[in-house]
Amino acid sequence: MKKYKFTIHGNQYEVNIMSVEDNIAELEVNGTAFKVEVDKALQQTKTPRLVRTAAVPSTDSHPSVAKTSAPSETTGVGGHVKSPLPGVILDVFVKVGDTVKKGQKLLCLEAMKMENNIDSDKDGKVLKISANKGDSVMEGDILVTIG
């Protein structure tokens, strides 16, 4: 915002330029707001105004919420195996319908140029695979559902 003081025919005016977009300027003259259209095209300032969208974390809603379901959990659909890090799925070692044991390798995730094995945290049957080879995943994304 720029401030100017003008004296026209002995009258003093305090002008605040609020914003300028294309050829429309929003001004405040002695406390009264005006929208003014400028006849000639205005040149863009050297430093553009940055507008950022609100950042929404992709992780779990609260840090105390576990990244995977409890191994002893037996109610409902079953457990979700979530991504511990953002990365890319290199390989999927199971199919829907496979029976898995606790500690069995389910996926291989590349994160920060390192390969990380994602293991099952419970015994059960693979109900759904939410990530395929080559997919980019964020921390907390559901990879596999075990029932």
pLDDT tens, position by position, 23-51: 888 889 888 898 988 776 656 666 766 77
Q: 124 lies in which domain range?
A: 79-146
Q: Which residues of 66-86 are buried (b: 16+ CB within 10 A; e: fewer)?
A: eebbeeeeeeeebbbbbbebb
pLDDT tens, position by position, 60-111: 555 555 554 454 444 445 688 999 989 999 999 999 999 999 899 999 999 8
Report if residue 44 sits inside a domain: no
Sheet of 87-92: strand order equals 114-119, 105-111, 87-92, 136-137
Number of domains into which the chain is organized: 2
pLDDT band at 144 (very low <50, low <70, confident <90, very high): very high
Mean pLDDT estimate for the chain: 81
Report if residue 92 sits inside a domain: yes
CATH of the domain at 114: 2.40.50.100
Report if residue 47 sits inside a domain: no
